[in-house]
Structure 1
């Protein structure tokens, strides 16, 4: 049973307290869920174009399938019609055509056994999806969770380093000479969810170890600007992907949206430890505040127009000026988390400012969904992200303000209306 909405610290005038704002969040969330339903294909889920139609020629995508499974499991468990069948379809797809029956683990798409790598980023989302589906009592979810955790723990977790390894060849040979903040960030989210669902505290301890290395060691040393790319000896790769600055998972430089995403994950990890262990490291809160401040300083309105931009270099100079939707969603979630944690009206101001920005520029009232990316003049753009493939970030930002910081997303949302 989750705690009720943690409102004691919220200012009386907070939007999060207002029933009208909460109704608006609910309506926006349902709208997003409905827009993405056509992404269901025979073997999983596929990316949608700007009009909400399957993108011609695109393959079913395993990361997208895992994210859709997670979202629709949570939404279905809250009583939204049409969502649990989609979650069941996701679980079936992940247990079937997307899984490598010979070597274990998951392909990036059906039949893509020769496309290169088994990725930690992907397996974190499969573990998250499976845990959410277990909470929603989706058929096959426990089998998926058992298999996902076996692979994720045995193949990817490095007990010596306290992080997840990045990728391998299909047969688990040829470990990549890389350690990445992005895959490990999403692993923190998944570890907390898995700890709630399984009751095994080792997953929460792993989330803490990851966070301590990437945030309390490396990011803190850089005034909470988050370095993303390292080799296996933990040497910072400052020029990594300099020739691919618009890469969608490992762009050159640093990503302010990730500073903000880490910020709220640290608060959720603090709350998880307090809830389950009775104590938490004080640095989790301190680092969360530092990450939010640096994220907004490095990302917001850097070129004269509102919005959190994509990337900056190591001097915090803008590199890619586009405004991805997920950066705004994570900034919203972080502002809401800090507001609930502190009651500081500064975070209320940011929360309102960010929702005003999303409402004015990102919500597409003509074609549906959110525009996935805007240019530096806040016009539609497709430099990094084409179409409207992603539901996960935007939808979670409509629900996260209403949830306690712990337990995890699926567990807390299941008890929200009870």
Structure 2
């Protein structure tokens, strides 16, 4: 009979604050080894599936990224059941049982907590194999830990006899005296882990908690995919634990006494007892003792301290006696009133999608656009490269992409009703660009000095794409439409010199065959197609998409590569293995738009795959998309620049517009998280940070003007989605 281990990822680990918080609960933290408790659990249980079972994980939507990333790091696969809302353990287990019963009617579910520490994995698996025949026979077999002492933080089980026997009673957490008596009388600690045939658990739920069984059957779709979204009906399930729903009523429960070491690591004293919970740099005087965890980049120094827990996270520090570790929960309850973000965890703190959209709208109109219009423009109309955080312009040169991107930004601002001097900014900027950057062959040079002298006369495909894009935005805003069209047509014809025999266009530099420039060229062609619906722009856009389908997107993995050779075969070496999460999102957004224009189902399917792969590059601890993965989707660079956050937001919103059911819930929630991630970079002044380090801090450098294009396109998508995504509140659209 097949075993289906079910890892339950509920619980917040409040007593382990500040390391454990709702944004990153304790199961995803390395409390007892180099692996997280969740990873330890997955490795412990995965070998039990070899008889035809499958690993299942039940998790909330907010923690899907942790589950994905940490399983991928182990090379393990699982079916992930995502709850739209936490409803306690009974509904979660019931949904998993319903899924298993459909997949394998006689399948045995092994329910395990994701946050328990069991160092002897083989002893655990031996106990499971010993209990299996009894579970197959229709009993619920729970694992009772032989106590090592009179603990008051665990519940107890009174067995009817020695060995594997029926349960006589479950006992609540006792006081010290009663705990000592329970240990003398042969009671066992209740580990909360048990195994049962899925069909049997559903029968017991129907007998003792019928509403839970009914909702679970309805919420678990007949879906064999890797990620299964429980339907919205799950929200109506009673909030009840499995102990109250079944264990206290059923007469089919047995207990197997086990001797392996087990701990639920419920508080810092139990982590300290394990002896391997220290992290980071601790400088201690002779005789100092306790548990110290210092976040990356921090140092903890002590002198004359004993029996203390010192937990130093980047935004919060706990110092407590290990003898009073259970009191941390009370501190967190007080903190929820005083500073909710520090209780929840910084990266997921507060803000509905509508609230964040309203802030984004006001920040763009009142802060960013005025700031860059005032400080980011030279007297001759050229746009500056960067502004430092004190408000001083930086850079004595001008890149073509900055000139065209800034012109695009202010053309769109004007079209959206911004009251600033957008028309003058666009007109003067593009005229200056035309005078200083246009070459005799109608292509545009890469870089000039502030006084207009050529510094780099090459014409990159990337820069030509943004010139086309800026001309389209100006024409759409009513700025010299005929002139902009003439410039665009001349540039399109001039691109013939960059043609590649195998299709597409080549880039300048030592990486001439790449997807990135084509992505922006597609964006420009689609913009012009909206203005001039004729054949030329449409054909050019379709050619780029065909090249993406044939070469850029890996046929097996569904992810988008970056660099190629002249035949559009993936480049040799590390270049060919590079996968950028931001570009997965950006292509997902573009292919969704193109697919809607053409009525092409493939494009939407590809977009969803690209989005899901991009999501593998989201660091849940920081709430942001990182810069680079490898082709096996392992992390290549954990730096997180601003621009991938804008692409994540655009893709989540456009896919949410037409998604249905659980997928729609997921996309809307992802859009909220993406907006929260982006807004971490935005300064109230209208400037921004560009590069986030692995520890969540930012590199201290000027704000690059080129990022405003990314922010503006995300802002456009927020406005465009307001009608189709009610969760945006219509705020951004109303703000125009």
Q: Where on the TM-score scale, by shorter chain, does this alignment land: which range?
A: 0.7 to 0.9
Q: Tell me how far apart the structure 2 counterparts of residues 105 and 43 of structure 1 sit (CA, whole Å).
A: 21
SS at match of 1:378: coil
Aligned to 2:130: none
Q: Tell me how far apart the structure 1 counterparts of residues 398 and 391 of structure 2 sit (CA, whole Å).
A: 14
Of the three residues 429, 432, 435, the one matched with 1:90 is: 429
Aligned to 2:495: 155
Q: Tell me how far apart the structure 2 counterparts of residues 218 and 391 of structure 1 sit (CA, whole Å).
A: 27
Of the three residues 208, 222, 234, the one matched with 2:568 is: 234
* TM-aligned CA distance change 1:240 to 1:125, over 3 Å: farther
Q: What pairs with 1:141-180 in structure 2 (closer than 5 Å)? A: 141-156=481-496, 158=499, 161-167=502-508, 178-180=512-514
Aligned to 1:248: none
Q: Tell me how far apart the structure 1 counterparts of residues 511 and 358 of structure 2 sit (CA, whole Å).
A: 48
130-139 or 217-226, which deviates more: 217-226
Q: What pairs with 1:193-272 in structure 2 (closer than 5 Å)? A: 193-215=527-549, 217-239=551-573, 253-272=578-597
Aligned to 1:378: 696
Aligned to 2:185: none
Q: For residue 177 of structure 1, report the CA deviation from its aligned partner.
A: 7.2
Q: For residue 106 of structure 1, report the CA deviation from its aligned partner.
A: 0.9
Q: What pairs with 1:401-416 in structure 2 (closer than 5 Å)? A: 401-403=718-720
Q: Tell me how far apart the structure 2 counterparts of residues 312 and 215 of structure 1 sit (CA, whole Å).
A: 21
Q: For residue 205 of structure 1, report the CA deviation from its aligned partner.
A: 3.0
SS at match of 2:553: helix
Q: Tell me how far apart the structure 2 counterparts of residues 200 and 417 of structure 1 sit (CA, whole Å).
A: 34
Q: For residue 254 of structure 1, report the CA deviation from its aligned partner.
A: 2.2
Is residue 385–residue 398 contact of structure 2 (8 Å, CA) maintained in 1? Answer: yes
Aligned to 1:410: none
Q: What pairs with 1:98-109 in structure 2 (closer than 5 Å)? A: 98-100=437-439, 102-109=440-447
Q: Tell me how far apart the structure 1 counterparts of residues 716 and 441 of structure 2 sit (CA, whole Å).
A: 37
Is residue 95–residue 144 contact of structure 1 (8 Å, CA) maintained in 2? Answer: no
Q: For residue 237 of structure 1, report the CA deviation from its aligned partner.
A: 1.2
Bigger relative contact order (CA 8 A; separation at least 6): 1
Q: Tell me how far apart the structure 2 counterparts of residues 114 and 186 of structure 1 sit (CA, whole Å).
A: 24
Mark the runs of 5 or more structure 1 residues left unpaired by the alignment: 1-10, 169-175, 243-251, 274-279, 406-414
Q: For residue 404 of structure 1, report the CA deviation from its aligned partner.
A: 5.8
Greater strand proportion: 2
* TM-aligned CA distance change 1:93 to 1:220, over 3 Å: same
Is residue 339–residue 348 contact of structure 1 (8 Å, CA) maintained in 2? Answer: yes
Q: For residue 232 of structure 1, report the CA deviation from its aligned partner.
A: 1.7
The reply on whether 1:310 has 2:627 as its aligned counterpart is yes
* TM-aligned CA distance change 1:386 to 1:352, over 3 Å: same
Is residue 162–residue 206 contact of structure 1 (8 Å, CA) maintained in 2? Answer: no
Q: For residue 185 of structure 1, report the CA deviation from its aligned partner.
A: 0.5
Aligned to 1:65: 403
Q: For residue 357 of structure 1, report the CA deviation from its aligned partner.
A: 2.2
Q: Tell me how far apart the structure 2 counterparts of residues 416 and 132 of structure 1 sit (CA, whole Å).
A: 22
Aligned to 1:5: none
When the two chains are superposed, the root-mean-square deviation of aligned CA atoms in Å is 2.9
* TM-aligned CA distance change 1:300 to 1:87, over 3 Å: same
Q: Tell me how far apart the structure 2 counterparts of residues 356 and 417 of structure 1 sit (CA, whole Å).
A: 20
Is residue 300–residue 307 contact of structure 1 (8 Å, CA) maintained in 2? Answer: yes
* TM-aligned CA distance change 1:201 to 1:52, over 3 Å: farther
* TM-aligned CA distance change 1:22 to 1:306, over 3 Å: closer
Is residue 656–residue 667 contact of structure 2 (8 Å, CA) maintained in 1? Answer: yes
Of the three residues 694, 704, 712, the one matched with 1:388 is: 704
* TM-aligned CA distance change 1:219 to 1:97, over 3 Å: same
Q: What whole-Å deviation, never above 9, does each CA across 1:176-226 have from its counterpart, x for those lacking one?
A: 772210000011110100111122233223222212322454414142221
Is residue 447–residue 456 contact of structure 2 (8 Å, CA) maintained in 1? Answer: no
Of the three residues 465, 469, 475, the one matched with 1:134 is: 475
Q: Tell me how far apart the structure 2 counterparts of residues 68 and 107 of structure 1 sit (CA, whole Å).
A: 17
Q: For residue 46 of structure 1, report the CA deviation from its aligned partner.
A: 1.5
* TM-aligned CA distance change 1:241 to 1:217, over 3 Å: closer
Is residue 325–residue 372 contact of structure 1 (8 Å, CA) maintained in 2? Answer: yes
Q: For residue 145 of structure 1, report the CA deviation from its aligned partner.
A: 3.4
What is the TM-score with the length of structure 1 in the denominator?
0.79
Aligned to 2:416: 78
* TM-aligned CA distance change 1:184 to 1:386, over 3 Å: farther
What is the TM-score with the length of structure 2 in the denominator?
0.46
Of the three residues 36, 39, 63, the one matched with 2:376 is: 39
Q: Tell me how far apart the structure 1 counterparts of residues 476 and 403 of structure 2 sit (CA, whole Å).
A: 18
Q: For residue 167 of structure 1, report the CA deviation from its aligned partner.
A: 3.5
Q: For residue 240 of structure 1, report the CA deviation from its aligned partner.
A: 6.1
Mark the runs of 5 or more structure 2 residues left unpaired by the alignment: 1-231, 233-350, 723-732
Q: What pairs with 1:269-280 in structure 2 (closer than 5 Å)? A: 269-273=594-598, 280=599
Q: Tell me how far apart the structure 1 counterparts of residues 388 and 488 of structure 2 sit (CA, whole Å).
A: 32
* TM-aligned CA distance change 1:116 to 1:314, over 3 Å: farther
Q: Tell me how far apart the structure 2 counterparts of residues 180 and 36 of structure 1 sit (CA, whole Å).
A: 31
